[in-house]
Amino acid sequence: MSFYIASSPHHHQRRTTAKLMQLVLFAMLPGFLAQLYFFGWGVIFQLSLAIAVALAAESLCLIARDRAPASGLQDNTAIVTAALLAVSIPPLAPWWVIVIGTLFAIVVVKHLFGGVGHNIFNPAMAGYVLLLISFPVQMTAWMPPTGLASNAPGFIDSLYLFLFQFTNEGFSLEQVRRIDTGSMLDAVVMATPLDHVKTQLSQGATLSEALQHRQFTGFAGAGWQWVNFAYLLGGLLLLQQRVIQWHIPVAMLGALSICAILGSIFAPDLLPGLNIHLFSGATMFAAFFIATDPVSAATSSKGKLIYATLIGVLIYVIRSYGGYPDAVAFAVLLANLCVPVIDQYTRPVTYGHRKEES
């Protein structure tokens, strides 16, 4: 009888990796539908192309490694990576953006490091950071949420924008992205809530002045707040199904919340409050779907708490003092670098052995 040693992710439940990935995709459905409602058809185009490219790249990499593509594709990890990246980028970013990001995530970050269970970085976030640094204009061209756009594109116009960056009538993406202020002369190009607040604060405005923008008619940004609630709902499903454990979401959200509360106490007119940090960016998506990646995250319970706390603090610091409004991807990748050290010092003691003193 041969003894088989499996690579991570390791789970105690009698579930295959393929089944776990299916549950992750199912839990993402509320957030995906919310993004589709508030940001349009481009979400479907990005997801469809990302999955197609991911499956093709995964097959070619498996063939190059002398492995059967059919068996390797059955674990659904490539589809999850594609889905995580697709919902992270602007819906009407050019088609070649998602192609480049997906190829980098699958070929370089995943397979060049040895495939499933061996990558040290989260593939989707690594692909996102590559795109953000390489194509900042395309990666910050988010559409206004439903109800704010001057020229909300339909299915055909969205497809044209996705493929050619112009609608069927000849409107550019910049024209479509303008917010309806009642007068085309006063229309302004849409910025995400976090980006808007950061830009206004850097120009000398106070937080209360920045929040006067019409996209803050809710408590944390039109559209974005409901997308975050949708991903929170999906994350709670993952917890209920025991696909993930509570340590990472609770520690990350807790650390970010503490930092935001302290910032509001000591600099209320200069630093965004708790509601903005939790519900205006990719916070809930990161807490339940990104930071919980079983391969690139810390392994022990104590290690997960340290790892997630580090992510929460880094998100707050980069958002508040760095150059990028939403710092999720950078925070996760920096924490991934720290995982070997965290695991080294939080490794559980083997039963029957005494902990070695340093």
Q: H-helix or E-strand containing 315? A: helix 301-321
CA distance 85 to 107: 14
pLDDT in tens, 231-249: 999 999 999 999 999 999 9
**Radius of gyration for the chain, computed over Cα atoms and rounded to the nearest angstrom:** 21
| DSSP class per residue in 175-191 | HHTEE--SSTTT-EE--
pLDDT in tens, 99-132: 999 999 999 999 998 888 889 999 999 999 999 9
CA distance 35 to 58: 27
pLDDT in tens, 78-93: 999 999 999 999 999 9
CA distance 200 to 206: 8
Q: How many residues does the chain have?
A: 358
Task: List phi, psi (to 5°) of 168.
Answer: -65, -25
**What pLDDT does residue 353 have?**
60
Residue type for 291, please?
A: A
Confidence of residue 326 (pLDDT cuts 50, 70, 90): confident
Long-range own/partner contacts, residues 315-320 (CB < 8 A, 24 or more apart): 315/252, 315/256, 315/277, 315/283, 315/286, 316/255, 316/256, 316/259, 316/260, 316/263, 316/277, 317/259, 319/194, 319/198, 319/272, 319/277, 319/281, 320/263, 320/271, 320/272
CA distance 271 to 273: 7
- Count of C-beta atoms within a 10 Å radius of residue 304: 25
